[in-house]
Amino acid sequence: MTRRRELEQHRHTLGEIRDIMNSMKTLAFIESRKLGRFLDAQRAVVTHIETMAADFLGFYPGVLPRSDEATPVCLLFGSERGFCGDFNETLLSRLESYFREYSMDSPRLIVTGSKLGNHLEGDPRVVAYIDGANIVEEAEKTLPPIINALADLQTDKCAASLVVFYHDPDKEQIATAEVLPPFEQYRDNAPDFPQPPLLNMPPAAFLAKLIDHYLFAVLHEIMYVSMMAENIRRVRHLEGAVQHLEDKSANLLHQSNALRQEEIIEEIEVILLSASSLDVKR
């Protein structure tokens, strides 16, 4: 009886854990749907800024600064929470292979996401540990510290080159984006229109403000993509965990039923023995 009660208690505990994981999976799925709407709007903003930059640099290519020497900075978008498999481990693996591929010396790292930060705790290359966003509304709190960390690394004589590492759910792999210096692909563009854009400030000042808007917008987009990948991973991981719990619960139920059958057989044997004893006495 005691063994069967232990199995029943264990199965009840597994059921509670399964319910919690199902709730977490549902929340991750809802967050993915919400991120999809935000991501579509943010991609439109980035595309609009890039179109504006291409038009502007077609007439003013000389204002795009050339930086022969730049401080290499890598921004990593990791996970803030767990239950997403090897999300952070694959990100770090891609980072190290990137360093070997491009022979990068003394890169500076900006790390977002506490789970990823735990993997790189004490790493001398890290210049900033930044808490990641749990939900899309928290992105506004995460981006300013990233921008501030980048600003601290830039000087008048030496700018920062920024490469962002993040998970891309569409390609199902680690993606890299060279964000700074921006608009290099438009440096030699021919003008698409006969007249230059009408500006109310000097071209250099306009470009500086455009770069600020672009950096903020593109980092928003990449963060949303990374969060989307994280939540998709979390849904898949939790689905596997819930299935494992259900299988284990079914196995415990089978064991409990088998023990109950043994108890019933023992009870029947006791009744039969008692009946036999009464017959002998009679």
In this structure, how many other beta carbons lie within 10 angstroms of the beta carbon of residue 166? 23
What is the tens place of the pLDDT at every residue in 219-242? 999 999 999 999 998 988 888 888
> What pLDDT sits at residue 49?
94
90: closest CA among 190, 148, 34, 168?
Answer: 168
Token pair in block for residue 121: 């705790």
Task: Strand 70-77: give its sheet, edge to edge.
Answer: 126-130, 108-112, 70-77, 159-168, 173-180
Q: In angstroms, rounded to a whole number, what is the distance separating the alpha carbons of residues 3 and 8?
A: 9
**Cβ within 8 Å of residue 245, ≥6 positions away:** 14, 17, 18, 21
Q: Find where tokens 């977490």 sit.
A: 24
**What is the domain partition of the chain in residue ranges?**
27-61+69-185+205-235
Query: Hey, CA dihedral for 73, 46, 31, 87, is it positive or negative?
Result: negative
Q: In angstroms, rounded to a whole number, what is the distance separating the alpha carbons of residues 143 and 137?
A: 12
Q: 57 near 186, Cβ under 8 Å? A: yes
Report, as ranges of residue numbers, the positions in the chain whose pLDDT lies below 70: 1, 67-68, 155-158, 274-282
What is the tens place of the pLDDT at every residue in 32-82? 888 888 899 999 999 999 999 999 988 888 888 776 677 889 999 999 888
- State the CATH architecture for 27-61+69-185+205-235: 3-Layer(aba) Sandwich (3.40)
> What pLDDT sits at residue 163?
93
